Amino acid sequence: MIEVKRTTKSNEDTSSVDIPIAPALIKQAELLVSAHSDFLTTVETMMNEWLRRQRQAFDLSSRSVQKICGSRSIIDLAQAQGNGCRSACGGPPQKSERSATMLFP
């Protein structure tokens, strides 16, 4: 087996040497960490907003499909589809003043 001699150098020699660049490196590292923190905060905000919009779209489509599945007549089906498309495009759903029985007696 090979024996390795380990030598330890005392830290007394290196601790007395003052490195003038160290404070500048520390300052740059702090600035870099601060910039990364700001960037990640912005990305987190953007991702939360995107996730909120995705949830709204999913809820909207889910409600639209439930209304379509629960429609009892062709008129209700057409209104549910129209309202689903309108709300998907950002418009308010149209509320009919007349019922299907008034349209087709």
Ranges of residues in the chain whose predicted pLDDT is under 50: 11, 13-16, 97-105
Helix, strand and coil percent figures for the chain, each rounded to 5 = 70, 0, 30
Does residue 56 belong to any structural domain of this protein?
A: yes
pTM of the model: 0.51
Does residue 52 belong to any structural domain of this protein?
A: yes
Does residue 50 belong to any structural domain of this protein?
A: yes
Q: Which token pair is 12? A: 């007394």
Own/partner pairs, 66-75, CB within 8 angstroms, 24+ separation: 73/100, 75/100, 75/103, 75/104
Question: In 10 A of CB 83, how many CB atoms?
Answer: 20
State the pLDDT at residue 96. Answer: 54
Neighbouring residues of 70: CB distance < 8 A, sequence distance ≥ 6: none
State the pLDDT at residue 77. Answer: 81
Does residue 19 belong to any structural domain of this protein?
A: no
Q: Which domain holds residue 52?
A: 44-88
